[in-house]
Amino acid sequence: MSSGTPVPGTRVLVIDDGRLNRECLTAQLEAHAIQTRSAWDLPSLFTAADDGPPQVILLNIETGDSGTLLQVSLDIDPDAKVIVFGLSADREPEIVACAESGVAGLHLRSESFAQLLALVANASAGGAQCSSEVSAILLRRVYSLAHQPAPDSKADLLTAREIEILELIELGLTNQQIASRLSLALHTVKNHVHNMLGKLGVATRAEAVSVSRALRYANPVAGETDTANR
């Protein structure tokens, strides 16, 4: 992991419903010349966002209704990067779910403030990063998917546009970001996503990503050929 520190003036929003944790983290960030605001629930998140979009959002996974807060944080501004902290290494499904949602960084409870600063610096520069420990957890997930039976040619049912959108979902883009990238209306992207989920026989974007990766890793040659033909 990089040992860099954020550029002074970097705008960060901390979401944590533990007041002491929130105030301590905010103080530490401000000590590094980082412009920091805070929130603890949806209303305070919207209020903070109205004051100007942050470059980086730090979300404590232990905050109440963190799933909704994560999704709203990912959608609140196309350029804002989300880092989830407070994760436990023994809660692998939670780590995988956060990674598949498209966050820019994952920070474990066992990791230091210096490592969190490095994640903020990388995210504010437009990158995505995690520690070697988190990478190992995610690689185990990929290995597990690669050794599952591949779904029977479900991906063949997808249109070229649906495949394109699925690839952008894999990169962590939200519907709004996909709409901007492809110059489509937001409702059009939502329709494509809905149709794609139905064809793959899954209920969520994360499950669609899992199916896509399982297909690609199980049959990499075919995947490369499909990409070359598009």
Each residue of 64-87: pLDDT tens digit? 999 999 989 988 887 899 999 999
Under CATH, which architecture does the 11-130 domain have?
3-Layer(aba) Sandwich (3.40)
Fold designation for 154-229 = Arc Repressor Mutant, subunit A (1.10.10)
| Number of residues assigned to the chain | 230
Residue ranges covered by each domain of the chain = 11-130, 154-229
pLDDT value of residue 2: 45
Please name the residues in contact with 165: beta carbons below 8 A apart, sequence gap of 6 or more: 178, 182, 189, 192, 193, 196
Question: What pTM value is reported for the model?
Answer: 0.64
Confidence of residue 227 (pLDDT cuts 50, 70, 90): very low
CB contact at 8 A, 129 and 118: yes
pLDDT value of residue 209: 82
Identify which has the larger pLDDT, 213 or 7: 7
Q: Is the pLDDT of residue 194 over 50?
A: yes
Q: Which of 44-58, 107-121, 164-178, 195-209 has the lowest mean pLDDT?
A: 195-209
pLDDT value of residue 223: 40
Q: Is the pLDDT of residue 120 over 80?
A: yes
